[in-house]
Amino acid sequence: MFQLKTLSILDSKTGLNLLPEGKLLINTINAHSLNMAKKDALFAESLSKCDVLIPDGMSIVKAFQWKHWTNGPKERVAGADLFEMEMDRLNARGGRCFFMGSSERVLDLIRHRAKTDYPNIEVVTYSPPYKSEFTNEDSADMVNAVNEANPDLLWIGMTAPKQETWTFAHWEELHIHCHCGTIGAVFDFYAGTARRAPRWWQRHGLEWLYRLYKEPRRMWRRYIIGNVIFLYNIARE
């Protein structure tokens, strides 16, 4: 059974600087993804068996505190924190970064901004077909694109749970030597097609409320109903 209390989760932002070099699969977890993983065995396996799991949601931190579990994270570590740390580190030494996911428009915006922000990084992108499920041919093309690029850093952004389950299913086929992060919304945040919550909201663990305020029609089910389901799931552990 998939349970939050049994997961090994990165405890702080400081831990990002201690990640080992080499091929590493990094996923994120928040209240929404935990709810989905409770009902999706492949997604649950993808989260529980990745190399690094970061607490991209204050709800995860608070759940460990509420239940007095001693093995939990001390602070929220957002996907954006991972992105900034990895990109800064790669820019310092120079290398190639591959962005897999999203639309050509978003990827164009990412390439344009990265030229200024990270001048020592060569950005390569690939926009997979926009569909609920990839064919074997689609996946083969995606794997080949990554392997041909031979990146020094790989980002996968196809929203959860697709990005996690696809990457986990094809992990052995990806002949990479670098960190791979599944960071979804960060593609849009960095491209500027979606706005991240201001710092005050982030510091107080209210980024979810800001997103609900900005996009109530799209987010009400995820945050109003989803947060109640999350509390129920945690209470049962």
In a domain, 7, yes or no: no
Question: What's residue 132's pLDDT?
Answer: 87
- Specify the pTM: 0.95
Give me the average pLDDT of each 10-residue run along the chain (237 residues). 96 96 98 97 98 97 96 95 97 98 97 98 97 95 98 96 97 98 95 91 88 90 95 96
Per the structure, the complete domain to which residue 116 belongs is given by 20-194
How many structural domains are present in the chain? 1
* Closest C-alpha to 208, from 72, 66, 85, 56: 56
Question: What's residue 204's pLDDT?
Answer: 85
Q: How far apart are CA 106 and CA 165, in angstroms?
A: 22
In a domain, 116, yes or no: yes
Q: How far apart are CA 30 and CA 34, in angstroms?
A: 6
Q: Which residue, chain included where needed, has tokens 């074997």?
A: 136
* Closest C-alpha to 209, from 27, 31, 68, 4: 31
Question: What's residue 89's pLDDT?
Answer: 97
In a domain, 50, yes or no: yes
| Phi/psi of residue 198, nearest 5 degrees | -60, 160
Provide the CATH number for the domain around residue 131: 3.40.50
155-191 pLDDT, tens digit per residue, is 999 989 999 999 999 999 999 999 999 998 999 999 9
| Amino acid (1-letter code) at residue 220 | W
In a domain, 199, yes or no: no
